[in-house]
Chains A and B, each alone.
Chain A
Amino acid sequence: MAASPIEQFEVYPLLPIQVGNLDLSFTNSSLWMVFAVALSTVILAISARGGALVPSRLQSVSEMMYELVANMVRDNVGSGGRKYFPFIFTLFVFVLFANLLGMIPHSFTVTSHLIVTFALAAVIFIGVTIIGFYRHGFGYLRMFFPHGAPLWTAVILVPVELVSYLSRPVSLSVRLFANMTVGHVLLKVIAGFVVSLGVFGIFPFVFLIALSALELFIAALQAYVFAILTCIYLHDALHMH
């Protein structure tokens, strides 16, 4: 019988580590994070070593990623965004590799766990807020009150803006998590049909192929969306709307 479609999301310890009351075990999730970091580091290091004028395939992949993020930062963060490029690039590459590695059968999709994406989003949210206060001091609080609105509307507008601001890390993390989880569950369910329908499994199988292509595209697209939203938040912190 087909395996449960949510079995793939199970986290289990590979190397149990217990520090006090904290369970710091090295899990399969940690392993695939390490894979994502190692693979991206190796690919970028190898492709950057040559530095040929006419790039090899690998080098042009790296250059495409670099240019994509460089353009994204330039267009969305605006002036003063240059120094945040390394962070955005790292973030993009990590999410991209985590998503793409998740497409390998029997692998583990790191980004299909809300806590992982939420941790990423929380780091971004806290970092961006600190940058905002560092840049503008308490003037950053004007962010929560639109310029030129009558003062009495502050009673309504400030809570609304505050909630809108606080919902950013939630929407950022939920979007990535939901996309990855839904896609992988769908893949597993359709794959289950392929097995259980016997000869007629060819129909879901064809659909599965198309779906896998779509999922690969979504894996890349969601990494892009994650990075671009970080850029937009950064822009708000640097230039205040």
Chain B
Amino acid sequence: MVRRTWPAAAVQTPGFPGLPSVGRGRETEGGRGLSDSDPDREPSLDALRHRLSEAKAKHERSRRAPTGSIERSEGMAAGFRVAVELTAALVVGGGIGYVLDQWLGTQPWLLILFFVIGAAAGFLTIYRTGQELDARARERREAEAAEQKAKTDRKGSDR
């Protein structure tokens, strides 16, 4: 099936000068190459690999495209996480201070002290969260770079 339709498309495209745009140009190139060499034989592995990598790239692009909004809401979640962590540390610090004050009768000194400690704890937590998110983002970037590199390597070996 594929063998039949494939050279046909390759022959047709040069007929319309407007048509062979970005994706098409390569297709015709590969197609003509294989029809020129031996029209009755199976498409060579090289041409097949070429088409496969092209289709993969197209698929990858369409898969990547709609993640923009998801990435944005992931960023929103990270921001929300940091905000909640700061507030939680302040509330816990203030709560401890308030309870100790009630217990020891030292209003308002322990509340003030623990509020400050809570703020420090909040910033500490945020700092750690930032480091953790950083590490995760770096990991993701590295994984993506490795993937990209593997892809270009594969393309290089095609030629």
Contacts and interface: CB of A to CB of B under 8 A. Distances in A.
A167 B125 contact: yes
A218 interface: yes
B77 A159 contact: no
B132 interface: yes
Contacts of B121: 160-164, 167
B89 interface: yes
A218 B73 CA distance: 8
Given A179-B80, A221-B74, A221-B77, A171 B120 contact: no
Given A175-B81, A221-B74, A225-B81, A164 B132 contact: no
Minimum-distance CB pairs A-B, first 6: A171-B88, A164-B121, A163-B121, A170-B88, A167-B92, A167-B89
Contacts of B77: 218, 221-222, 225
Nearest to B125: A164
25 contacts: A159-B117, A160-B120, A160-B121, A161-B124, A163-B89, A163-B93, A163-B114, A163-B118, A163-B120, A164-B89, A164-B122, A164-B125, A166-B92, A167-B85, A168-B88, A170-B91, A171-B84, A171-B85, A175-B80, A175-B81, A178-B84, A179-B80, A217-B73, A218-B73, A221-B77
Contact of A163 (B70, B73, B96): B96
Interface of B: 70, 73-74, 77, 80-81, 84-85, 87-89, 91-93, 96, 114, 117-118, 120-122, 124-125, 132
Interface in A194-241: 214, 217-218, 221-222, 225, 232
Nearest to A171: B88
A167 B132 contact: no
A48 interface: no
B56 to A, nearest CB: 21
Interface of A: 156, 159-164, 166-168, 170-171, 174-175, 178-179, 214, 217-218, 221-222, 225, 232
Nearest to B139: A75
Contacts of A163: 89, 92-93, 96, 114, 117-118, 120-121
Contacts of B114: 159, 163
A178 B79 CA distance: 13
Contacts of B96: 163, 166
B26 to A, nearest CB: 33
A17 B74 CA distance: 42
Nearest to A218: B73
B125 to A, nearest CB: 5
Contact of B124 (A160, A175, A222): A160
A178 B80 CA distance: 10
A155 B88 CA distance: 22
A221 B74 CA distance: 8
